Structure 1
Amino acid sequence: MKRWLAPTFLLLAACAGAATGNQATAVVLHGQRFTTELATDEPSREHGLMMRTRLAADHGMLFVFPLSAPRAFWMKNTLISLDILYFDANRRLVSMQLNVPPCKSDPCPIYPSHAPARYVLEVSAGTARRMGAEVGDVLKIEGDVGPVR
């Protein structure tokens, strides 16, 4: 009877991980590769990088939306400064909000895209400038982002 416990536990753990929307993939922008957590559903997009005290230089979070639209992010409960990079449906960089500080007052400022976006990449503040990212750069996503809700 114990034979079924391990496979059942692994299946439940995999389902629980998928439900969070935080599976990982890699992206490449302007020649730099980042390991990214994926935010592909509303709960994971709302939580984003909240409560993180650090973000490695080669890590980030990729927010994937079902459709392109004007996007706006804020930094509520985000403890680290970020670069917020907005990409259209063709994964072309259309807008950047750089060195966005943590929110220190309520209400928190809003950081909008300047064009419709379907993908948003958050990386450590200063990363975009350091690697020379420019509007028009193409984001390469390695692998599949899975279902987007």
Structure 2
Amino acid sequence: MALVLAWTLAPAAWAGDLLDPPPQSELTWGDRQLQLELALTPEWHARGLMYRNTLAEHQGMLFIWPDAQRVAMWMKNTPIPLSVAFIDAEFRVVNIADMQPQSLRSHVSRGPVRFALEMNQGWFTAQGIQAGDTWPELAELIKALDLTGMDVGQRP
């Protein structure tokens, strides 16, 4: 299993942005290699993938909360269609929602979750990933980040 965690310099997409760039990680899901940006802070939870015009095939954003809770996602200022998988503390997909660009419609987890993974719309379907599936490799990332007891807004 490949796991790479990197705190990076601001990529061109974030040049001049008031937010520090999010940390990035390479992580597998089965035999798929993902390039992920990690939304660990309330600021990145609110910003997400807004203002992005493109997203590579296996690129996405992983939202991480310190405690399991019901969460809602929307697409304000997001011009590309995305799908989101809501994932619980046992790394099981609770539900997946397709989200339309620029929409203010809320997409809500069907139960308490600690993670949400946003990818290009249709990515989960194309990979055969559905509610009830697990993502065991995510446990390795959480262990590497040492997020146990992390307060909201703190970085590891």
TM-score range, shorter chain: 0.7 to 0.9
Which residue of the partner structure matches residue 76 of structure 1? 76
2: CA distance, partners of 1:134 / 1:29 = 13
Change (3 A) 1:29 1:136: farther
1: CA distance, partners of 2:30 / 2:72 = 23
- For 1:109-120, what aligned pairs fall within 5 Å after superposition? 109-120=105-116
* Count of aligned positions: 129
Which residue of the partner structure matches residue 15 of structure 2? none
Q: TM-score, normalised by structure 1?
A: 0.78
Q: Is the 8 A contact 1:21 1:38 kept in 2?
A: no
Amino acid at match of 1:121: L
CA deviation vs aligned residue, 1:25-61 (integer Å, no higher than 9, x gap) = 1233353221100000101111000000000001000
- For 1:53-68, what aligned pairs fall within 5 Å after superposition? 53-68=53-68
Which residue of the partner structure matches residue 102 of structure 2? 103
Amino acid at match of 2:130: E
**Are 1:128 and 2:116 an aligned pair?**
no
Q: TM-score, normalised by structure 2?
A: 0.75
CA deviation vs aligned residue, 1:53-93 (integer Å, no higher than 9, x gap) = 00000100000001111110010001100010000011111
Which residue of the partner structure matches residue 13 of structure 2? none
Which residue of the partner structure matches residue 3 of structure 2? none
2: CA distance, partners of 1:39 / 1:115 = 20
1: CA distance, partners of 2:76 / 2:112 = 22
Amino acid at match of 1:122: E
1: CA distance, partners of 2:114 / 2:90 = 9
Change (3 A) 1:37 1:56: same
- For 1:39-58, what aligned pairs fall within 5 Å after superposition? 39-58=39-58
Two-structure CA RMSD over aligned residues (Å): 2.0
Q: Which has the higher helix share?
A: 1
Runs of 5+ unmatched residues, structure 2: 1-8, 11-18
Which residue of the partner structure matches residue 23 of structure 1? 23
Q: Is the 8 A contact 1:87 1:94 kept in 2?
A: yes
Which structure has the greater CA radius of gyration? 1
Q: Which structure 1 residue ranges, 4+ long, deviate > 3 Å from structure 2?
A: 145-148
Runs of 5+ unmatched residues, structure 1: 1-12
Bigger relative contact order (CA 8 A; separation at least 6): 1
